Structure 1
Amino acid sequence: MWGPRMFKEYFQYKGISFPRLIYSERGLREVENEFQVRDDDVFNVTYQKSGTVWMLEILSLIHSNGDPSQCRTVPNWNRGPWYETVMGLQTARSKRPPRLISSHLPIQLFAKSFFRSKAKIFRPYKEPGQLDQFLEQFLEGDVPFGSWFDHVKGWMGLRGHENFFWITYEELQQDLRGSVERICQFLGKSLDARALDGVVENASFQAMKQNKMCNFSLAPRFLLDQTQSSFLRKGITGDWKNQLTTAQSENFDRIYREQMQGLDLSFPWDQPSPQPSPPPTECSDSPPGGS
């Protein structure tokens, strides 16, 4: 959760809001039109606060065959930079292949060169206010990076493409080892049992929460004030039941059904249950200077 020193200036780029501190119109234009995607690039694409850091850690560990050395010595925003940020773009361009790159961008703002490639794709925020206020803005898509619904529907249009893999936070939590095995298969990366053990052990919530290279404790306090809350908080799903009122939950479900109808796709939270778990509605998990 971002602390009280939050930057309140947003700008619009093609109808989507971005915080000005670490993003720029010029940088977004360069990402969209000039960034050259390589066939061996792997993109970690997520909506904000939807498991970005977790997946980045998993992919980093898979790349190192389960060896946690790099994950314990190199900040994650250098291992998998958010390339739409000013500093992240520079880092991504300077990385040696194969590159791991993170992004919160909706599909319509993504690097155009990606769609001609074989690349695989998987505190600069203003005060969100009270939960009811932020929930209303979230449902309207009036938040940084735009609508969750549009983001998901846009990227899910690539379903069936051989270089596109999708997975949910819930699946990672329910079966981390099985999820890692599926990701390895998609990446064409063969890990033995010992290497798989290393990935699973070091990508656990407790391991990541204690790792300064991925828990953002190294971030400048003016960007991320962890005296308010640690960046990696609970590592659970379903906590919305303790936060939303019945009326808020019912309103969320109604809008969710309206927005997602016709997608012909079932998520874990769509399965029959007393109260289906909605997607995350928290502020962004973007890192300093790397997103």
Structure 2
Amino acid sequence: MARLDVTETFHSIMFPGHMHTKDSLNYATKFKFQDTDTVIVTYPKSGTTWMQEIITLVLGKGDPTIAQTQPNWVRAPWLEQYYCADVLKGSTGPRIITTHLPCQLLAPALQHSKAKVIYIARNLKDVSVSYYHFHKMANFLPDPGTFSDFLNDFLKGAVHYGSWFDHVNGWTSHAKDIHNFLYITYEEMCQDLHGSVQKVSHFLQCPLTEDELILAQKHCSFNSMKENTMVNYTLIPQEIMDHGKGKFMRTGKVGDWKNTFTEEQSRLVDDMYSSQMTDSSLLFKWECPEKTARPLMTINTSESHT
């Protein structure tokens, strides 16, 4: 299925036609979740692949065999992409499901389920830069033009998967309505991977010994994933993802936006954040101090609802 130049519009949100169809998007919104499902929810470029890897290693008690032999899109398929139904038919045991869908499209299907939902958020400055570079290599996404052009579209929500503001606000404000919900940030994972893996293991009710925890942490580190063909997307053909134009896993650093943003652009984003997130309890910092142990974003809800 190529459709590299096709854009699907669903509930006023654009999706890449390469992997999304009207039928697949409708399938996702009407999906029958099982209580044993674990659902990874993110806005693009917010730590999706990382969480797929963490969960795989937690459930495997630190054993990297599955992580190193099975592509991440097979072990944790994207719910809204056309191949998902077939993958899930062949799955055994508890399912890991990934989605970029906003809350208003997916929350109704989750309301009557005890599926565990993990929402990962990342500050929008780093997201915008990472998403821009992804557009440059992904031939199923529009040419982003200059970063200035892309940032303007990004802040307006005129990009594939819609508005970062709507996505983060939607999911975090409805956390209390979801039976089992864990909120974690990309920055927290960068700053304390050991603690983040442990937090996920507790949430999944899959406790690890210290040795298993250290092994899981080792194999879900950025450097390990960058070399793992099962997650670095080098298995994807060049005509779909042009690895000559960049790497899917670029830097993995917090605060990399400073190498791209002008001072004027930084102020613009700060102003947009202030106006769009007035009702949010999220607190963002745009850098990751090396010596602080505190999460960089917090939310005034319980981390899990059981």
* Shared fold, TM over 0.5: yes
CA RMSD of aligned residues (A): 2.1
Query: Helix, strand or coil: the match of 1:165?
Result: strand
Cα drift, residue 270 of structure 1: 9.2
1:27 maps to 2:43: no
| Matching residue of 1:108 | 104
Which residue of 1 is the match for residue 141 of structure 2? Answer: 125
The alignment-based identity, stated in percent, is: 39
Aligned AA (1:262): D
Structure 1, residues 57-106: CA drift from partner, whole Å, max 9, x if none?
Answer: 00110010000011010011101001100012321343223000111110
Is 1:95 paired with 2:91? yes
Which of residues 53, 58, 62 in structure 1 aligns to 2:49? 53
Is the CA contact (8 Å cut-off) linking 1:37 and 1:111 kept in structure 2?
Answer: no
- Taking structure 1 as the reference length, the TM-score comes to 0.87
Amino acid at match of 1:13: F
2:174 to 151, 155, 158: 158
Does the 8 Å CA contact 1:8/1:127 hold for their aligned counterparts? no
Separation of aligned partners in 2, 1:7 and 1:172: 33
Corresponding residue number in structure 2 for 1:264: 281
* Alpha-carbon distance in structure 2 between the residues aligned to 1:98 and 1:176: 24
Whether 1:221 and 2:238 are equivalent positions in the alignment is yes
Contact kept in structure 1, 2:39 and 2:117, CA below 8 Å: yes
Partner of 1:149: 165
SS in 2 for 1:166: strand
Cα distance between partner residues in 1 of 2:242 and 2:47: 20
Hey, what does 1:75 align to over in structure 2? 71
Bigger Cα displacement from structure 2, 155-164 vs 191-200: 155-164
Q: Match of 1:8, as an amino acid?
A: D
Shift of 1:268: 4.2
Picking from 6, 27, 32, the partner of 1:9 is 6
User: What displacement does 1:256 show?
Assistant: 0.8
Q: How many residues align?
A: 269
Q: Give the aligned residue type for 2:68.
A: R
CA contact (8 A) 1:42 1:100 kept: yes
The equivalences for 1:213-252 within 5 A come to: 213-252=230-269
- 1:163-182 aligned at under 5 Å gives the runs 163-182=180-199
Alpha-carbon distance in 2 for matches of 1:218, 1:268: 35
> Tell me, what secondary structure is at the counterpart of 1:101?
strand
Which residue does the alignment assign to 1:137? 153
Equivalent pair of 1:158/1:164 in contact (CA under 8 Å):
no
The answer for the alignment partner of 1:199 in structure 2 is 216
**TM-score normalised by L of structure 2:** 0.83
* Contact kept in structure 2, 1:84 and 1:103, CA below 8 Å: yes
Gaps of 5+ in 2: 119-137, 290-295, 298-306
| Greater Cα offset, 215-224 or 168-177 | 215-224
Shift of 1:111: 6.5
Any conservation in 2 of the 1:61–1:199 contact (CA below 8 Å)?
Answer: yes
